[in-house]
């Protein structure tokens, strides 16, 4: 009878199906949480101690009795420790669930204060800001910390009516910043269509010509700041805002919540990062730092002449 030899290829190679039980147990042990592994390590050390004491015992009967009783007690202790570990983990999971539920309740029920609308009349200089609570919980201890920022181009140099104000040289024009802080005390703002009214006047800071510059869109008028308040969830909550008047929209649009100094700082950092300090953009930014301008009213004649000559690039000497 002929025997046909069959080639043994890669697919015909017999596979080793023998598994090492010790390796499998080690893998399973490593998969256990670190807490359970520590409990098992401690139980193993205690068991080795029990075996050692039992071996050294002079009486054979007492040796077996001691080993059996202590091993049984060790198993009971091991079961209690594992059960306590599981209960601790369950308690932690329950606390996490309660915290997540509390956070969800706070998010859905807390007070939310923000700017409802801004109405302006550049003719009279009157501006009215409405603050609304769009959340569900009432808000108390309301304080508004804000500032107005006016930026006018170079031709609109501050005139006699505003020359004593702290105008600053910024970019290609002039900039004025003034505070607008209001403390509403014990006033409670409920949720609904009953906003707080915050009126103020621009006349103390801008004259009619400068307000006309803002109205025509040749300047920039910005109100920015934050609203601080308390509700039943957190003691200190804060809502930041920044709005800029837009001539095209005839309304106030959202504006980045950054001061001009912060904007210039970011521009310097970006310019230095991509072009280095020798780049033209960095030199251009460095040539326009905000500078406090001495008002003509406060300047002495010789200081005023020196200031004008420096602005014109002349050497006073």
Q: Which of 95-99, 257-261, 287-291, 299-303 shows the highest mean pLDDT?
A: 95-99
Q: Do 212 and 76 lie in a common domain? A: no
| pTM of the full structure | 0.56
Any domain includes 154:
yes
Any domain includes 39:
yes
Domain count, the chain: 2
Cα torsion angle, 159, 161, 163, 165, sign: negative
Q: Do 97 and 125 lie in a common domain? A: no
Any domain includes 107:
no
Q: Which of 44, 67, 102 is the last residue of a domain?
A: 102
What is the pLDDT confidence band of residue 1, given thresholds at 50, 70 and 90? very low
Q: Does residue 242 sit in helix, strand or coil?
A: strand
82 CB contacts (<8 Å, ≥6 apart)?
36, 39
Domain boundaries, position 188: 113-263
Q: Which among 206, 196, 193 has a CA at the least distance from the CA of 144?
A: 196
Q: Do 117 and 253 lie in a common domain? A: yes
Dist. CA 228–CA 238, nearest whole Å: 5
- Mean pLDDT in residue range 196-210: 88
303 CB contacts (<8 Å, ≥6 apart)?
294
Any domain includes 70:
yes
């Amino acid at each position: 009878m002929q025997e046909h030899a069959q080639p043994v290829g890669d697919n015909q190679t017999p596979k080793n199906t023998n598994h090492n039980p010790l390796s499998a147990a080690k893998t399973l042990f490593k998969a256990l949480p670190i807490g359970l592994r520590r409990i098992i390590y401690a139980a193993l050390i205690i068991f080795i101690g029990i075996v050692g004491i039992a071996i050294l015992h002079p009486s054979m009967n007492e040796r077996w009795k001691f080993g059996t009783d202590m091993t049984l007690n060790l198993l009971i202790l091991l079961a209690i420790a594992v059960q306590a570990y599981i209960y601790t983990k369950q308690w932690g999971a329950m606390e996490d669930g309660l915290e997540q539920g509390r956070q969800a309740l706070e998010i859905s029920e807390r007070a939310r204060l923000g700017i409802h609308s801004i109405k302006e009349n550049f003719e009279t200089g009157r501006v009215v800001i409405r603050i609304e609570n769009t959340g569900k919980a009432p808000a108390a201890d309301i304080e508004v910390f804000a500032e107005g920022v006016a930026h006018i181009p170079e031709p609109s140099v501050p005139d006699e009516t505003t020359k004593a104000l702290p105008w600053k040289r910024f970019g290609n024009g002039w900039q004025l910043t003034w505070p607008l802080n209001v403390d509403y005390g014990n006033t409670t703002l409920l949720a609904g269509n009953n906003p707080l009214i915050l009126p103020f006047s621009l006349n103390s800071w801008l004259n009619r010509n400068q307000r006309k510059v803002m109205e025509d869109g040749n300047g920039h008028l910005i109100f920015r700041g934050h609203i601080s308040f308390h509700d039943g969830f957190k003691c200190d909550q804060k809502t930041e805002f920044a709005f800029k008047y837009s001539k095209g929209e005839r309304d106030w649009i959202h504006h980045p919540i950054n001061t001009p100094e912060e904007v210039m700082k970011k521009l310097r950092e970006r310019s230095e990062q991509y072009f280095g300090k020798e780049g033209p953009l960095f030199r251009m930014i460095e040539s326009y730092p905000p500078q406090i301008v001495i008002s003509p009213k406060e300047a002495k004649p010789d200081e005023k002449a020196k200031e004008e000559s420096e602005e014109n690039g002349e050497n006073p000497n």
